[in-house]
Amino acid sequence: LQQVYPYMEAAAVPGMAICLLKDGCRDTTVDLDEVRDAIYLSSASLAGRLDMEKIRLAVDCWFQQDSLAKTLGKPAGQTEKVAQQWLARAGKRWRPFLAVCTCQALSGVDIDVMDDGLNKLAVAIECFHKASLIHDDIEDGDEFRYGMATVHAKYGTAFALNVGDFLLGEGYRLISECTDDGSAMAKMLAVASSGHRTLCLGQGDELWWTAHRGVISSVRVLEIFSRKTAPAFGVALQLGAIHAGADFAGALESYSKALGIAYQIRDDMDDFFDRGDSNDATSSRLSVILALACELAEGSDAVLIENLWQSSDGFDPGDEKVAAILKKLDLPARALTLLGRYKAEAIESLEMIGNAALKGLLRRVVGKIFYDFEIMGCCDDYSRGDAPHDSAGR
Domain boundaries, the chain: 1-42, 43-371
Higher pLDDT, 150 or 389: 150
> According to the model, what pLDDT value does residue 190 have?
95
Q: 10 Å Cβ neighbour count for 73?
A: 11
**pLDDT reading at 301 higher than 80:** yes
Structure letter (DSSP) for residue 145: E
Average pLDDT over residues 290-317: 80
The 3-class SS string of 198-255 reads HHHHHHHHHHHHHHHCCCCCHHHHHHHHHHHCHHHHHHHHHHHHHHCCCCCHHHHHHH
* Sign of the C-alpha dihedral computed for residues 231, 210, 289 and 129 taken in this order: positive
CB hemisphere CA count around 108 (13 angstroms): 6
- Per residue in 308-336, pLDDT (tens digit) is 777 766 666 566 787 788 788 888 899 89
Average pLDDT over residues 36-56: 74
Main-chain phi, psi angles of 2, to 5 degrees: -60, -40
Average pLDDT for the chain: 83
Contacts of 132 (CB under 8 A, 6+ apart): 164, 199, 203, 232
> According to the model, what pLDDT value does residue 382 have?
44
Mean pLDDT lowest among 29-33, 194-198, 388-392: 388-392
* 119 contacts 71 by C-beta, under 8 angstroms: yes
What CATH topology corresponds to 43-371? Farnesyl Diphosphate Synthase (1.10.600)
